[in-house]
Each structure stands twice: as structure tokens, then as C-alpha cells.
Amino acid sequence: MAQPTPDPARPARPARWHLRLWLAGDRAAPSLALAAVTVVLGVIYSGVFRGEPAGDDLTFHLAELRRLADCFRVGDFDLWNDSANAGFASAYYYQVVPLAVPAALAALTHTQVLPWFQLCIFLPLVLVPLAAYRGLRLMWATRWAAVCGGVAVAFTLSNSKWGHGADGTFLVGLYTQTWAFAAFPLAIGYAMRFLTCGERLGPAIAWGAFVGLCHPFAGIALGVAVVAGLGGEQARTVARRRWRPRASRAQDDAPDARGAPDAPNAPNAPNAPNAPGAPRGALARWRVLAASLHLPAPCAEEPSPAPSGPGRALSRLMLLGAALILSSASSWLPVLVDYEGFGGFPHRVEGEDGPGFWVLLEWLTRGGILDARRLLVLTVSLPLVLLLARARHLRWLWSAALAYAFFLSIGPHLVTQDDLFPAVRFLGALQISLGLGIGAGLVAVGGWLHMALGRWVSPLAGRVTVAALGVVVLAALVGWGGWVQARRVYVAKDSRKTHRPELMAVIEALAKAPPGRKQALRGATSHWWNLLPYVYGERQALLQMGGGGLQASPSYDFLWTNRDPLRNAWLFDAPFVVLGLPEEPGDPTGEPYFRTRHYQVKKLPAPGLVSPVEVVGTLPAGRKPGHQAALAWLSTDLGQKNQHLAYAGSGGAGPAPQAKVLAVRRQRSPGDAPDLVAEVRVEQPSTLMFRESWHPRWTGLIDGQPAPVRRLTPSFAALDVPAGAHVIALRFDRPWWALAAWLLWPGCALLGALVSRRPSTSPANAP
């Protein structure tokens, strides 16, 4: 019987196993694997929603975004923050983007800040594989290589609190670094794409500036990666052209042959030494050695555009660098213009200087950078990938990793003013570079191993062996590594020493107490006890050793230096102290105010937020001499006698005051409303000091009229008030250019998108 002729206009019927083929294809399977890893990470980090997360800086950031949300609700965009360190200017220097997002969401929805903060911790940790995948695809990695790179970087574990991901987030609370490093692969990928092809300048600016605005040191790490990667590529190109015979230079630019032929020494085989397009140099020697051992050669590179010439590459690098600097002006411009209000930190934090060469080498070889507390799968895989994987993106990543290792090695010998170059912050970037490179390179290692096994065993046995090894690696990375990461996620109620119910009772009592800052002393020094009273009760903390209030407050160094509770209570208007029970010798004596089973609150003598003082002298001119003299004044008892020194250029000595403060209040300050207000009665001209951090953008008001603001020791704002009854006030005025500078970020990105060009041809596997 004749078969019917198929109708060419009718679509063919799908194959029986079409779904299986689709799932196993080059597109669907990597996407499903990436989605599965993202779900696993969501389960691992879901514990963050159970309460206030661990990590010192996380609670400090939570308090700051509480203040930001309160300001956003009333339309106060000057953003003076009174949460700790005698007050500081939020969003004036850096690290505000990760805080402004949850604060704005809380303000828009009129909800609490904690759920939004938890969500903004959760998302960067969970979305790391997606960002890494996209970044590697932009660097011409294959889909499976990009998936494996994303998995590796998401489950990289270090033994340091300065690491990326769960390491830094929950060990010390590096929330802003978590945001920056989550987008780090995207920034590198777009930068590499622009420097190579001249395209996608807009996203390169947008993501690069995002990284720097989230954390300034991550922006520095991005610049190091870009310069090292491009410099390494240009050096390799120049070396290949200069040190090879002229006849072979044309062959050097040709892409490596694909696959490994059955007869490596055949005359026309790509691996043959004299074949057209044959690889030269180290790769050729590797292939000759592999052929002599009856092993396949290292995998060839994926196709990518030829490197640009040195002149064009340098011009693109300068353009991208200038655009990134300009688009991040909102972080560095206020520092340059108002540097006197930038507190800095002249003490180097222990461990922030970097490990040095030998300690770094020990960390790497023992798994302290890639595989802490689990099987050393990534550490062992690193030399295999270096030997057997060849790819352009790997060379960029290895160059960046070498640069980071260099800075980590010399970090202990780098001393900068205000500790502005903590070399250990390169550790997270080193983890990302190595994780991306190892994960992406393991695909090539797996292909090489499959070809090697094919020479001794059947194809099925080779596939089973490679699959079994892959399962072991995946189990160690995701299973074991996920278990380690999940154990790092814990919240306040998980800590037995915190006694959260008693903490909430103390917060409720402090919320009803008279104004005054709080000191967290012996037995109550955890970050939860320090800043949660502000989050839930707006009770200002005396000292915050991290977050934006560290370097943004000019009072920080004085608080760091002086730890006498009685002196701090008077100088900084911090009458309330929280102590553990039972009492111990050395505890400050004061009026009992509140008590629970394990804690007590005492009230110490304090003059109030505003008080009359006597100016008895002037500090020497210059930032450093003046600061040193102010620290020397702090060690005396002059402050407790209300005798202060004026900073150079802020007036001289004056008579003893004769004034009385009738009322003081803090208030929301939308528009032109002041932040601090006091009603005073002055018998004769006197100096009245606000025990709030001085800043060059304070505007003094006496009965609504502008008045000069003085700066007195340790670093407080003060007004000279004439005789009579007056209302004096301070209003923090953020300059218009500090707000307008934020428009440079989207503006530069949009301009870059308009001027960048796209190439006429692209590799077959370009994303």
C-alpha cells in the first residue's frame, strides 16, 4: 500500500522524546540547573527571616536605615542621623544604596524596616549564581561553564570574616559588601565586553558604579580587575607578536583547533606541529607531551573577538574609568568638599591590613580561601584548571586574582591615613575571581577527562566515571557547603547570651525614659543590645563600631579613645548605662533605673543635649595637630568642668557662661525645619554647646535668624548667644550638589549606552 505524501505546508509532528531532547539541550538544561541552585540557596538563607540577623554591622545598618526610613516618610532628605556616635550625616560619604532601598520600601509601604532589611540581605546572597552566570556569558564562556562558575562562586567558603557571601555577611555583618560583590561578576563582564568590542558601555558604567556606590573598596577591586585583566591580555598579545618567528605570527592569531583528533601527529591534524592554525608555545608543548603519554590535549579556547590594539584598548580603558569616577561622584565629591566633617579612622583595625604572603599561601593551600570546613574540592581543582583549561575569560580572572593576592601580601606594609586602604577587603574579590575561574574551568577539565578515559574504557564507562566525579564535587560544594552556610545564619533569639525577651523589656523601659544616649557596657555589649534600642525605641547609642557611622562621624575617634563611662556620660550626654547582673567591681555607680533577671539600667550624671560651656583656649591649626590636641584635652577633666577648646578658625576664648537651658528637643526636619531646638535664658552673652557632632553643613539659628556655628572639643557644634530669652537651633542642610550628584550615575550610563557601538559580527556563542 502506498504511503501518503506528507504535506510540506503542514508542520512536522514533534518527536516522541522531544521534551527530553529539549531538556537535555544546550539552553534548557543549564537554565534549569541554574534555577535549581537558586532555589537551594533560597532554602539555605531562609533563616534570615526568623529575626534580627547576627553580624555586628548588620544591626548598625538596620539602625541607620530605620533613621533613613523615618526621614523619607516626612520628606527630610538632609538625612542627619542621630542613632549613634553623637550623630553623623547619613548618605553623605558612601555605602548608602543598600540602605536606601529597604528604607524607601519601608517608607512607601508604612511598614517596619526589619522585613525589608531581611529581604535585602536574602536577595543578594540568593541571586549570586544568576549574576555570575550573566557575567561569565558576557566574557564568552559557554552556558555550562557559566553555570558551573555561578555554582562555585555561590558556595565558596573562607575562614575569614572579611570574605564574600555568608562569610562576611553573618560573621561581621558586611551587608554593603554583600550587595557590591553580588553584582561584581556583572560589572567585570560588561567591562570586559566594552574593552574588547567597544559595546555595552552603558551597562558597564551602570553596574560598575553600582558596585562602587555599594562599597567603595569593591569599586577599587573592580578597577584592579579591569586593569589587570586588560593589561595581561595586552602583554600576552605583544609577547606573542614579538617573541615568535614572523612566519608564525599570522597563525598565532587564529583560534585554536576544536577537539582532539585521533591521530595527533597526522600531517593535516590541528595538533600537528606544522599544520595551519596549530597552537604555539606552551599549549603546543602540552599537546606534544599529551600525545607522547597517549592523553588528549588540553581543551581549546572558545571563539571570541581578537584583542584590540594597545592604543584602542587604552582609550577605552580611560573612557570607562573616567565614566565610572564621574558616575560615582555622589560618594567621593562630598568627602573632598567637606573633608573636615569626615571623621576618618586613624586606627588600623586588627586583621584589616591583610594576611601577608605566607599566611595567604597557607590559607590557599589549606582551603581557607575556597573550602573552609569542607572537602577541598575547589582548592584541589585549581591546579587542574590552570593546567587543562584554556579560555579568554580565565586569563582575565587569573590576572585579577594575582593582583588581589599581591595586595593581600603587601597589605601589612601599607599604612594610609584614616585606614582608607584595608587590603584584606580584596579577599572577597579574590574568592570571586578564583570561584568563577575554577567553576568555569571544571567543564573543560571534565571534557578532557572524558576524552582521556575514552582511550582505555568504553564511552559509557567514561561518562559514568565523569558523572560520578561530578556528583562528588556537587555534593561537596552544594551539600556540604550549603550546610556550612546555613549554620552561619542565626538570629537574636538563637543566642542564649542575648536574652532577647529581657532585651525587649529594657528597650520598652528606655523608650519611656527621659532624653539621653545609652551606653552598652559589661554583659550587654553585643550589637543587638547596642543598636536595637534605637531600632525599636529610638534610644540613641553612644558608640557604634562599624557601618556608616564609623568614618562619617568626627566624634568616633574620641569615643573609641575614651572608654570611661562617667566621663562619656557627661561629655556626650549618655546618662543611661546597661550592665549585666550580678554587679562586679569596677562597674560605674549610678541611680538604679530598671532591672531584669540578667540586666540592669543605671542613670549617671549628664548635663543634657544642650548646655552652657566656657571656651578656655584654641586648638592649633591643621587637621592632624588639632586632632591630636583635642585628644590630649579629652584625657583631662576639663570636659567635666564644662571647659572646652575651640578649633582653629572657630573663635577664641570667652567668659564664663551665665545661661540656663529651659527645654531641648529633637524633631523631624522636613524642608527648612531644624533638627535640634533649645529654649534658653541668657543673663549675659554665653556660649551654648550642642553635644552633637560638628559638621560644616550645620546652620545655626537664633530666634530663626542665621548665626555662626562654632566647633568645640571634642567635636561639637556651639552657638554664641546674646543676653535674653531665645530659641536656638541647628539645622543640617545638605547642599543641592550633593543630591544632584546622584543623577550622574544614570546620566553617565544613559550617555554611555547612546555612544557605544555594537560590532557587526559576534561569536556564535555570544550571549
Q: For residue 306, name the pLDDT band (cuts at 50, 70, 90).
A: confident
Q: What is the pLDDT of residue 563?
A: 87
User: Could you give the strand order of the β-sheet that contains 724-732, starting from the edge strand earlier in sequence?
Assistant: 658-666, 676-684, 724-732, 698-702, 705-707
The residue-averaged pLDDT of 261-278 equals 41
Q: Residues of 144-168 as b/e, b for ≥16 C-beta within 10 angstroms?
A: bbbbbbbbbbbbbbbebbbbbbbbb
Amino acid identity, position 144: W
First to last CA, the chain: 50
φ/ψ region of 173 (left if φ > 0, alpha if ψ in -120 to 50, else beta) reads left
Amino acid identity, position 420: L
Q: Which of 110-114, 134-138, 162-166, 729-733 has the lowest mean pLDDT?
A: 162-166
Q: What is the pLDDT of residue 155?
A: 95
* 579/681 same-domain check: no
Amino acid identity, position 591: E
Closest residue by Cα to residue 395 from 236, 617, 604: 236
* 225/373 same-domain check: yes
Residue 714: asked if its preceding bond is cis (omega within 30°), the reply is yes
Q: Which of 33-42, 125-134, 281-290, 547-556 has the lowest mean pLDDT?
A: 281-290
pLDDT tens-digit series, residues 552-595: 888 988 998 888 999 999 999 999 999 999 988 889 999 999 99
Q: What is the pLDDT of residue 531?
A: 94
* 225/370 same-domain check: yes
CA distance 440 to 382: 11
Rounded to 10 degrees, the C-alpha dihedral 651/657/663/668 comes to 10
* 584/617 same-domain check: no
- 326 vs 560, which has greater pLDDT? 326
- The last residue of a domain, from among 452, 487, 522: 487
The residue-averaged pLDDT of 42-57 equals 94
Q: What is the pLDDT of residue 298?
A: 59
pLDDT tens-digit series, residues 376-432: 999 999 999 998 888 888 999 999 999 999 999 988 877 666 566 788 889 999 999
* 630/701 same-domain check: yes
Q: What is the pLDDT of residue 243?
A: 66
Q: Which of 265-274, 426-435, 493-502, 533-542 has the lowest mean pLDDT?
A: 265-274
Q: What is the pLDDT of residue 259?
A: 38
* 405/510 same-domain check: no
Is 268 part of any domain?
no
* 313/379 same-domain check: yes
CA distance 146 to 394: 12
Is 300 part of any domain?
no
Backbone angles phi, psi at 558, to 5 degrees: -70, -40
3-state SS, one letter per residue, for 602-651: EECCCCCCEEEEEEEEECCCCHHHHHHHHHHHHCCCCHHHCEEEECCCCC
Residue 263 cell numbers, joined: 591521530
* 137/225 same-domain check: yes
Q: What is the pLDDT of residue 547?
A: 79
Unique residue bearing C-alpha cell 541611680: 591
State what percent of residues in the chain have pLDDT above 70: 86
Is 434 part of any domain?
yes
- Residue 466: pLDDT above 90? no
Is 708 part of any domain?
yes
- Residue 46: pLDDT above 60? yes
Q: For residue 96, name the pLDDT band (cuts at 50, 70, 90).
A: confident
Tell me the residue range of the domain where 619 lies. Answer: 610-741
- Residue 370: pLDDT above 70? yes
- Residue 277: pLDDT above 60? no
* 103/203 same-domain check: no
CB proximity list for 200: less than 8 A, separation 6 or greater: 138, 190, 193, 194, 756
CA distance 225 to 230: 8
Amino acid identity, position 26: D
* 186/325 same-domain check: yes
Is 49 part of any domain?
no
* 316/167 same-domain check: yes
CA distance 26 to 302: 15
Q: For residue 284, name the pLDDT band (cuts at 50, 70, 90).
A: low
Residue 582: asked if its preceding bond is cis (omega within 30°), the reply is yes
Closest residue by Cα to residue 654 from 631, 632, 693, 682: 682
φ/ψ region of 200 (left if φ > 0, alpha if ψ in -120 to 50, else beta) reads left
* 312/420 same-domain check: yes
Q: For residue 676, name the pLDDT band (cuts at 50, 70, 90).
A: very high
Q: Which of 241-250, 268-277, 406-415, 734-743 has the lowest mean pLDDT?
A: 268-277
Q: For residue 681, name the pLDDT band (cuts at 50, 70, 90).
A: very high
| Structural contact between residues 84 and 572, judged by C-beta atoms closer than 8 angstroms | no
CB proximity list for 113: less than 8 A, separation 6 or greater: 62, 65, 66, 69, 102, 103, 106, 535
Q: What is the pLDDT of residue 470?
A: 85
The residue-averaged pLDDT of 241-262 equals 49
Is 45 part of any domain?
no
Q: Which of 215-224, 338-347, 352-361, 512-521 has the lowest mean pLDDT?
A: 338-347
Q: For residue 670, name the pLDDT band (cuts at 50, 70, 90).
A: confident
Is 163 part of any domain?
yes
pLDDT tens-digit series, residues 509-532: 999 999 999 999 999 999 999 999
CB proximity list for 46: less than 8 A, separation 6 or greater: 122
Question: What are the Cα distances from residue 14, in Å, to 22, 52, 408, 506?
Answer: 11, 53, 57, 69
Backbone angles phi, psi at 15, to 5 degrees: -65, 160
What's the whole-model pTM score?
0.87
Question: What are the Cα distances from residue 87, in Å, to 80, 299, 507, 691, 750?
Answer: 7, 58, 20, 9, 36
The SS3 call for residue 91 is coil
- Residue 746: pLDDT above 50? yes
Overall number of domains in the chain: 3
Q: For residue 264, name the pLDDT band (cuts at 50, 70, 90).
A: very low
- Residue 295: pLDDT above 80? no
Closest residue by Cα to residue 393 from 445, 438, 426: 438
> How many Cβ atoms from other residues are within 10 Å of residue 381's Cβ?
22
Average pLDDT, the chain: 86
Backbone angles phi, psi at 505, to 5 degrees: -65, -40
| Structural contact between residues 124 and 97, judged by C-beta atoms closer than 8 angstroms | no
pLDDT tens-digit series, residues 195-217: 998 889 999 999 999 999 999 89
Is 289 part of any domain?
no
